[in-house]
Amino acid sequence: MPVTTDFISNKLQVRSNYGMVDGKEVTKSKTYANLKATAVNDDIYAVAEALAGLQAPTMEEVFKIETTLLIPGV
């Protein structure tokens, strides 16, 4: 049974390191929704770097979160 897909959404998540607080490493993430389906990974990463440049904490990781619906064939 072939499966087709239907694009739902793309999101950008930037995880930042806030350093040590009370002996524990503190990391926080910020998610930006509504990325275009046609957005290229290099461009998404460039936006993440630009956003990180506006913040005091150090950017650690960048995630592209893709949501796709899988539709079973008939």
pLDDT tens sequence across 19-71:
999 999 999 999 999 999 999 999 999 999 999 999 889 999 999 999 999 99
What is the C-alpha separation between 71 and 46, in angstroms, rounded?
33
| pLDDT for the residue numbered 9 | 96
Kindly report the backbone phi and psi dihedral angles of residue 65, in degrees, each rounded to the nearest multiple of 5, phi listed first: -105, 115
| pLDDT for the residue numbered 50 | 95
| pLDDT for the residue numbered 10 | 96
Q: What is the reported pTM? A: 0.83
